[in-house]
A and B are shown apart, each in its own frame.
Chain A
Amino acid sequence: MNSSNLTHLQQLEAESIHIIREVVAEFGNPVMLYSIGKDSAVMLHLARKAFFPAAPPFPLMHIDTTWKFREMIQFRDRMAAECGLDLIVHVNEEGVRQGVSPFTHGALYTDIMKTEGLKQALDRYKFDAAFGGARRDEEKSRAKERIFSFRNANHRWDPKLQRPELWKLYNTRIKPGESIRVFPLSNWTELDVWQYIHLESIPIVPLYYAAVRPVVERDGMLIMVDDDRLELQPGETVQYKSVRFRTLGCYPLTAAVESEADTLPRIIQEMLLTRTSERQGRLIDHDSAGSMEKKKQEGYF
């Protein structure tokens, strides 16, 4: 509000850095949830900027569903090492024992491996604040969520009991067992994220760039055959197509788009000229209108 001569990206960057520093100053045991996607990449970059020349004083945590793309896992390990950060990888072992998979458990799979896994990890390490890379422009229920979003001891979000959030003054007070999810990228849009990655040369998982990859067509979506756990259904054949991913998640649930965009400017170009929103590639959002809101109330990020 006091800075009309800074560009929009400079202002967004300053806001995010302020938020990240505030968490470190006010919380005893923060963690940064790292999903390995482009938003996480920007969030991590901003955290490094916030504390330079020191490394960010908190660990990264990845909730691994065991179904992430292999390239994501390689990228994750490389980035944590390069940034000098501790990396916590948490897997819901109970879910693994029960053989929960995206093929057999449908919507339950996300609840168990992602939402439950996250709650387990937050409880185990007793984190009082967790950074997430969600943006308000992604999805309607997020448009109303605070930057500092309160969670009760059961990790639940109550949209009707949100704290008013004014100026840059964030209420960070919680009782034991309660926690705050913090979204430093709340006010960024997908275009902002891409422009910033371009401007700051931030490394991202190569899956965002187009390349020839093995895919099958299933329910009108292109699913990449990332390992031999993807069983072909009758009539499906593996095809080699030039594809890329606009969003990254579990490979059986993340649709690829056919694309030739193999550089950042070309990705941005494609994004600007395209006519579908990025979440469309996530099968999870198609369940029902308001499905994300329900998931959030139950503790999904």
Chain B
Amino acid sequence: MAHQSDLIEKDILAYLKSQEEKSLLRFITCGSVDDGKSTLIGRLLWDSKMVFEDQLASLEADSKRVGTQGGAIDYALLLDGLQAEREQGITIDVAYRFFSTDRRKFIVADTPGHEQYTRNMVTGASTAQVAVILVDARKGLLTQTRRHSFLVSLVGIRHVVLAINKMDLVGFDAETFDAIERDYRQFAEPLGFASITAIPLSALNGDNMIEASVNTPWYSGPALMDFLETVQVEGDNRAEPFRMPVQWVNRPHLDFRGFCGVIAAGTIRPGDELRVAASGHTSRVARIVTMNGDLAEATAGQAVTLTLTDEIDVSRGDMLTVPDSPPIHARHPEAHLVWMHDEPLQPGQIYLVKTATAVTPGRVTAVQYAVDVNTLEQKQVPTLGLNGIGVVRLELDRPISFDTYRQNRDTGSFIMIDRFTNATVAAGMVIAAAPLEARNTSLTGPGPDLAEPDGGHLRRISLSESFISGTGVSVVDLTGEWGPIGFDVTASFTDYLGKGNRVLFRLRDLAQLEAVALLAYDQTLTFEFDRTAEGVSILIFKRGIRSEGGLLTDEGTGI
């Protein structure tokens, strides 16, 4: 029995205390109706005592009426929620189930195995930490097993249970089990799971569901419930560099300005230095405010309100991070895209891209290739249709802050929304800012906001009025830029320099030096290199009196 009835009866306070430390595991089950998936989940609910008598009464009635077990209890009927589906005998969407034991609470994403429902599986897997992939022992690995495994790996699930079900129908044969496990391990090797646990099951009869089955003396691994209760999932990224997308600025009165969000990575304490990824402004944490009192520390996964020691400009859409390990801040992410809508992707068309921080108009500029979910082969395609998966390049209207999906599922994911129908049309996972490849660094001279040339991987920054502020020195911050860059120069920019003003480029790394040097070369500018504790910067300016023989009167940069 999953709950400690004795303790509940004798000492409810002690029981409640013991429950406060319970953890949460989210997992997904993948397989078709035929694999006994609904039966497996129904059984977990049943055995963890999450089924009540009135539900049992209606389950018995339903089993007789529409059950598939000849009038015996059909656990699958605990799950099929919508009337239409019940009549069709299939589940058609993502459903969430809940059960708990004394050690853990579980949230199960229950998704169909039907080919056209890749969309649902990706949806269910997006929040899962473990996948239970069902295989019918009589059939072995099927195309859908491969498809499910690929999707699960794509969405970043690292732990897989290969649930080899219906072992009763193959006489609990160890060799059958071993052969399927062997095949699977070989197939799944390139998918890079951290762990694969094969378990011989009969969900219908309960073998190896909760306890070791007497029918499989040759199997020494855990029962399914044991495994789920004890599996250690990584994903504790409290040691990673701090990230918090600002969700809401709480400003009840002039003396309080709190930045609200869920910490996506890292740990924070009052006094810690923070940097706004987009602007580069820094400040320190003053307080971590909660209704239950200020915290001395907050960590990944918590929803908090931070106040800062300085009045710096922060708003919804910004990301607060540690200063020395900022996220990517760029306009051209490359990403895995799962297309989820009947209308295929229209490359070049504007969609809304929603990330953890912001909603930004953007377009897919190129589909690099699509992946066949059945064979894992890459193929060249002009676009992606419903349930299509590919690698694409995006162009966003403005740079946004993000991480790679591999690094962080919260800050590396996005959805795409159709601007006219408001439908969610795609799910994306960032691979990188832009691929590093041969640099096309020829600067094309004055030209306002040129679109990126076809297939170009260079991020071109137009040095327009927006970079110029006042007189004296303007700052171009490149510390949020990843990957190769180039500059386009506008007339107003040359004018600005021509009047004796200077521009300071803050660099992320020395790889950016070349682009600035080329700019100086093309525009006949002088530059000064500076390295301080703050980082690397270059000051460029025009030797305004060069035509008069060389030296500028005011040589000192003063910066």
Contacts and interface: CB of A to CB of B under 8 A. Distances in A.
Binding partners A and B? yes
Given A54-B252, A169-B354, A289 B62 contact: yes
A3 B119 contact: no
Contacts of A24: 248
Nearest to A51: B250
B262 A164 contact: no
B356 A168 contact: yes
A277 B78 CA distance: 13
Which residue, of A54, A144, A164, A198, has the highest number of chain B Cβ atoms within 10 A? A164
Nearest to A55: B252
B279 interface: no
Interface residues on A, range: 35 or more
A53 interface: yes
Given A49-B291, A171-B415, A2 B410 contact: yes
B124 to A, nearest CB: 9
Interface string A165-186: 1111101011100000000001
A164 B82 contact: no
Interface stretch (A7-15, A64-72, A85-93, A109-117): A7-15
A90 to B, nearest CB: 28
A7 B24 CA distance: 7
A3 B236 contact: yes
B427 interface: yes
A10 B302 contact: yes
A162 to B, nearest CB: 7
Interface stretch (A210-218, A225-233, A261-269): A261-269
A7 B18 CA distance: 11
Contacts of B165: none
A25 B300 CA distance: 21
B409 interface: yes
A48 B261 CA distance: 15
Contacts of B535: none
A143 B97 contact: yes
Interface in A178-231: 186-187, 189, 191-192, 195, 198-200
Interface string B323-353: 0000000000000000010000000000010
Contacts of A268: 12, 16
B23 A166 contact: no
Given A1-B26, A50-B260, A189-B100, A159 B355 contact: no
B269 interface: no
Given A144-B95, A191-B100, A171 B354 contact: yes
Nearest to A186: B96
Given A14-B262, A175-B422, A272-B3, A198 B81 contact: no
Contact of A167 (B24, B234, B410, B423): B410
B8 A273 contact: yes
A93 B63 CA distance: 44
Contacts of A191: 100
Interface in B85-124: 86, 92-98, 100, 104-105, 107, 110, 119-120, 122-123
A154 interface: no
Contacts of B250: 51, 53-54
B471 interface: no
B412 to A, nearest CB: 10
A51 B289 CA distance: 10
B83 A2 contact: no
Interface stretch (A27-35, A134-142, A236-244): A134-142
10 contacts: A2-B265, A2-B410, A8-B23, A9-B20, A10-B301, A53-B289, A164-B119, A268-B12, A269-B9, A293-B82
Interface of B: 3, 5, 8-9, 12-13, 15-16, 19-24, 26, 52-55, 58, 62, 79-84, 86, 92-98, 100, 104-105, 107, 110, 119-120, 122-123, 126-129, 232-238, 247-248, 250-252, 256, 258, 260-262, 264-265, 289-292, 299-303, 305, 316, 340, 352, 354-356, 408-410, 413-415, 417, 422-424, 427
Given A187-B107, A266-B12, A275-B53, 12 more contacts: A1-B127, A1-B128, A1-B409, A4-B129, A53-B256, A164-B122, A164-B123, A168-B262, A191-B100, A269-B15, A273-B5, A273-B8
